[in-house]
Amino acid sequence: MKLKLAEALLRRKELGEKVKSVQNFKQADLYEVKAKRVHVAENIDDLTLSVPKLNLSQVLSEFDFYSRQLRLIDGAIQQANWTVEIDVNDTVVQDWVAPKSESKELEVA
């Protein structure tokens, strides 16, 4: 499949955001509180039941998938970076040079 460099750069940015969002999953995002039980008698304590919304393996699989895709697109971009040459004006690669000042000596009368 052929991509334009601009499309590859956009895909790399998109994949980077997906990796970052999956990487930032917190424990609270994986579990949902389904039931609470309030103190009923002397020997009964509060009961909180947490039910998983997702399996940790699902989150890790998604993270691994997007990380791999990001590495692959980044590698393709880097290969293009090292192999493609572009035409530019010679002045684009020059460093700034301060203009020579024309100093005239002041005449003292």
Give mean pLDDT in consecutive 10-residue pieces for the chain, a chain of 109 residues: 89 92 71 66 72 76 92 94 85 82 64
How many distinct structural domains can be found in the chain?
Answer: 1
The domain in which residue 79 lies consists of: 5-83
In this prediction, residue 15 carries a pLDDT of 93
For residue 106, being part of any structural domain is answered with no
101 lies in some domain:
no
Give which of 66, 85, 78 is closest to 16, Cα–Cα. 66
Q: Determine, yes or no, domain membership for 90.
A: no
Identify the pLDDT of residue 35.
67
Tokens 């009368």 belong to which residue?
A: 109
Per-residue confidence (pLDDT) for residue 91, from 0 to 100:
79
pLDDT at 87: 84
The answer to the question of residue 99 being in a domain is no
Question: Closest by alpha carbon to 15, among 30, 31, 3?
Answer: 3
**pTM score above 0.75:** no
Residue 94 lies in a domain: no
